[in-house]
């Protein structure tokens, strides 16, 4: 969509009264984004009859310097620099009425090292703006100059692997179930069985904090007994994500310190604690050699629907900056939302040092990470050993595969469930490295491995056919088309 | 007990042919292959003894397997031996693989010592039973 700049220049620009956003200078189709600009890509759905370019200019204006009327005090500033500039508006393929608006923001609009500041601008007021039916932040290009103002993950994938002494395969975890109601002593039993059986990690669920049935100290004490005992039984390093989410930051620090005192290698937080709390606890984790696991509790309220909200690829970028070591990022094959290509885009954003534009994966911009630490994605929710070939195919090697029900629901017990998962994983990586077509031969590879592993055979008999095959709501807008030859 | 460190400890012990295939995978990725051994299997024992330098420029897994056989002649049955693969690519510069290829016939495992301190806290110490003896005399 092409249109000329309509920006009013000189003193006419500052006459009191209301002026359209594109006339105020928030639509500059000739603008060339600078290397240091932040760029946001919004999916804009204007109200009926609203010009898409004016709507997009309004998004630029309301997320930077504008208010609803002209103000003379703009003239006390280098206002042209501070105005966000919408420089491109394209119709969304196959979605009449929606437009992709590219908006560039000068680096000086943002405080370094603060996700709160970034989000207060970019998703602050503008999502409730009346002339829009809906608005979604699809992607952002973060310039190196901005990336370098953040510390990123306290450990990152490589340091985490070195600390755990685990290489060349996905890590294995399980969320303790039932998520609510177990006493500390019973909870620790599940942790011990799962870790001894072959998992690397167990995990508190997002809503297990400190409830009447289990005070947080009880959980921490029994979990650490289980972790240490399983370590001694296997000779392997083990961990349990102790959820330190609480009502206040002070209480979270208290729980974090206690986890450290008990010798835990990892603590856990929920996304709902907010960006400031995440960044604060990230600094604490960095200072205390602690891995930091983030459960993305709440994200689907704003990430899932394509028309309105914030894409999870943007949340992934913010969380890599904010500094977490683990983040739940989808399973593709499990019970929760996750289109394969879109999920591949999230995984790239979390794990690669340079992520090239890839519209088929929903990645709109080249994103350099400038050696910022890599985040380990976590795949959790409705996955089981029988899907191992698909999980490795879609998610790769640097991922935590989390089998909660798929471990604890094993008909012969938790240890058996854990062993089934570990054997399935090792057999599949082994076959892949040998050069076998493990995706096609996956079911046979698992059957063969089950010949020497009864728990795996039982797991395959129980869940072999279970799949969650529903249409995704959040899918890429661009599909490859065959080129005419 | 069977120590389950490394990529493939839950599978049956690997044959030389299987080891060669895994090593070939590493070589084709451009990773350096290293043989290490120890008689202290503590999970935090990062530095196993190196059997020579990492092999940076080999093309064929047979070279690694023959080094492994030489290492086994000295240490098999009394030490753990592992093969690891190192990736020097920028942004990784660490191990990509690590798996045990030989282990003592008897693995006595670990003692977990608990020191009860205040507030119900416990200080845990994991100690391999084998390390009660000096290195070299632990597994025989």
CA atoms within 13 A on the CB side of A346: 32
Residue-by-residue DSSP string for A245-282 = --SSHHHHHHHHHHHHHTT-SEEEEEGGG-HHHHHHHH
Output phi, psi for A445, to 5 deg: -60, -40
**Segment 25-84 of chain B within 8 Å of chain A by CB:** 25, 41-44, 46, 84
Distance CA A152, CA A351 (A): 12
Considering only CB atoms, which chain A residues are within 8 Å of B128? 235
Q: Which residue of A236, A263, A433 is in closest CB contact with B124?
A: A263
> Does the pLDDT at position A485 exceed 80?
no
| Of A381, A380, A314, A383, residue with least CA distance to A350 | A314
> Does the pLDDT at position B83 exceed 90?
yes
Query: Would you say A28 and A7 are in contact if contact means Cβ atoms under 8 Å apart?
Result: yes
Residue identified by tokens 């935590």 is: A400
> Does the pLDDT at position A40 exceed 70?
yes
B12 shares contact with chain A (CB less than 8 Å):
yes
Whether A85 has a binding-site annotation, put simply, is: no
> Does the pLDDT at position B43 exceed 50?
yes
Whether A217 has a binding-site annotation, put simply, is: no
pLDDT digits (tens, 9 = 90+) for A49-104: 999 999 999 999 999 999 889 999 999 999 999 999 999 999 999 999 999 999 99
Annotation: CATH topology of B16-107: Ribulose 1,5 Bisphosphate Carboxylase/Oxygenase (3.30.190)
A236 min Cα distance to partner chain B (Å): 5
Q: Is the dihedral angle over the CA atoms A173, A174, A180, A183 positive or is it negative?
A: negative
Q: Which residue of B7, B43, B91 is in closest CB contact with A237?
A: B43
> How many Cβ atoms sit within 10 Å of the Cβ of residue B110?
23
Distance CA A220, CA A227 (A): 10
Please give the interface size between A and B, counted as residue pairs whose CB atoms are below 8 Å apart: 110
> Does the pLDDT at position A235 exceed 90?
yes
**Composition of chain A by helix, strand, coil, percent to 5:** 45, 15, 40
Query: Would you say A345 and A357 are in contact if contact means Cβ atoms under 8 Å apart?
Result: no
Considering only CB atoms, which chain B residues are within 8 Å of A436? none
Which helix (H) or strand (E) covers residue A322, if one does?
A: helix A312-322
Residue A324 or residue A474, greater confidence: A324
Distance CA A334, CA A330 (A): 8
Catalytic residue set of A = 177, 295
B10 min Cα distance to partner chain A (Å): 6
* pLDDT for the residue numbered A41: 98
Distance CA B71, CA B74 (A): 5
Among the residue ranges A3-7, A60-64, B100-104, the one predicted with the least confidence is: A3-7
Q: Which residue of A235, A371, A427 is in closest CB contact with B3?
A: A235
Say whether A426 and B122 touch across the interface (CB within 8 A): no
> Does the pLDDT at position A115 exceed 70?
yes
| Of A164, A227, A240, A198, residue with least CA distance to A421 | A198
> Does the pLDDT at position A131 exceed 60?
yes
* pLDDT for the residue numbered A331: 84
Considering only CB atoms, which chain B residues are within 8 Å of A167? 7, 84, 94-98
Average pLDDT, chain B: 96
Residues whose CB falls within 8 Å of the CB of residue A452, separated by 6 or more in sequence, listed in order: B12
Whether A36 has a binding-site annotation, put simply, is: no
Residue-by-residue DSSP string for A404-422 = SHHHHT-TT-HHHHHHHHH
Rounded average pLDDT over B81-105: 97
DSSP letter (8 states) at residue A143? P
pTM of the model: 0.95
pLDDT digits (tens, 9 = 90+) for A262-284: 999 999 999 999 999 999 999 99
Cis peptide before A418 (omega within 30 of 0): no
Helix (H, G, I), strand (E, B) or coil at A56: helix
Considering only CB atoms, which chain B residues are within 8 Å of A374? 91
Share of chain A above pLDDT 70, in %: 96
Residues in chain B: 140
> Does the pLDDT at position A121 exceed 70?
yes
Q: What residue spans define the domains of chain B?
A: 16-107
* pLDDT for the residue numbered A174: 96
């Amino acid at each position: 969509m092409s249109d000329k700049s309509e920006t009013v220049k000189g003193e006419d620009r500052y006459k009191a009264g209301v002026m359209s956003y594109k006339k105020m200078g928030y639509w500059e189709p000739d603008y060339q984004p600078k290397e240091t600009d932040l760029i946001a890509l919004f999916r804009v759905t204007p109200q009926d009859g609203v010009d898409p370019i004016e709507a997009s200019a309004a998004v630029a204006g309301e997320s930077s310097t504008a208010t609803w009327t002209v103000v003379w005090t703009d003239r006390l500033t280098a206002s042209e620099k501070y105005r966000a500039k919408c420089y491109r508006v394209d119709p969304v393929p196959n979605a009449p009425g929606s437009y992709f608006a590219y908006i560039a923001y000068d680096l000086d609009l943002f405080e370094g090292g603060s996700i709160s500041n970034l989000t207060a601008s970019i998703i602050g007021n503008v999502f409730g703006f009346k002339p829009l039916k809906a608005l979604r932040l699809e992607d952002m290009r973060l310039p190196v100059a901005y990336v370098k103002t953040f510390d990123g993950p306290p450990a990152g994938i490589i340091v985490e692997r070195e600390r755990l002494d685990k290489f060349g395969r996905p890590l294995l975890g399980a969320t303790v179930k039932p998520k609510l109601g177990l006493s500390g002593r019973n909870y620790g039993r599940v942790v011990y069985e799962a870790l001894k059986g072959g998992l690397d990690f167990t995990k508190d669920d997002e809503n297990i904090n400190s409830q009447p049935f289990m005070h947080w100290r009880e959980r921490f004490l029994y979990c650490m007994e289980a972790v240490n005992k399983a370590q001694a039984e296997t000779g392997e390093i083990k961990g349990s994500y102790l959820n330190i989410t609480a009502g206040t930051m002070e209480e979270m620090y208290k729980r974090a310190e206690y986890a450290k005192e008990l010798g835990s290698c990892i603590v856990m937080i929920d996304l709902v604690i907010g960006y400031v709390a995440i960044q604060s606890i990230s600094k604490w984790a960095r200072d205390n050699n602690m891995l930091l696991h983030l459960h993305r509790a709440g994200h689907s309220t704003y990430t899932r629907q394509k028309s309105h909200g914030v894409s999870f690829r943007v949340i992934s970028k913010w969380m890599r900056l904010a500094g977490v070591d683990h983040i739940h990022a989808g399973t593709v094959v499990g019970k929760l939302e996750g289109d394969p290509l879109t999920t591949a885009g999230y995984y790239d954003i979390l794990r690669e040092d340079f992520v090239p534009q890839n519209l088929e994966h929903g990645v709109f911009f080249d994103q350099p990470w400038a050696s910022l630490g890599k985040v380990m994605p976590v795949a959790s929710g409705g996955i089981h050993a029988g899907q191992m070939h698909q999980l490795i195919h879609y998610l790769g090697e640097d991922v935590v595969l989390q089998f909660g029900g798929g471990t604890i629901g094993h008909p012969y017990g938790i240890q058996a469930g854990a062993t089934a998962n570990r054997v399935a994983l090792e057999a599949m990586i082994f076959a892949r490295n040998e050069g076998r077509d493990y995706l096609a031969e996956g079911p046979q590879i698992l059957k063969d491995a089950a010949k020497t592993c009864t728990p795996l055979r039982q797991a395959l008999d129980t869940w072999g056919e279970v799949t969650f095959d529903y249409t995704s709501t959040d899918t890429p807008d661009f599909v490859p088309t065959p080129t005419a030859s | 007990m069977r120590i389950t460190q490394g990529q493939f400890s839950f599978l049956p012990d690997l044959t030389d042919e299987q080891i060669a295939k895994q090593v070939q995978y590493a070589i084709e990725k451009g990773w350096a292959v290293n043989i290490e051994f120890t008689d202290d299997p503590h999970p935090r024992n990062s530095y196993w003894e190196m059997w020579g330098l990492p092999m940076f420029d080999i093309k064929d897994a047979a070279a690694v397997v023959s080094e492994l056989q030489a290492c086994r002649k000295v240490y098999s049955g009394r030490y753990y031996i592992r093969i690891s693969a190192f990736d020097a690519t920028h942004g990784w510069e660490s191990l990509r693989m690590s798996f045990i290829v030989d282990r003592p016939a008897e693995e006595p495992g670990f003692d977990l010592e608990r020191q009860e301190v205040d507030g119900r806290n416990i200080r845990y110490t994991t100690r391999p039973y084998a390390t009660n003896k000096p290195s070299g005399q632990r597994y025989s």
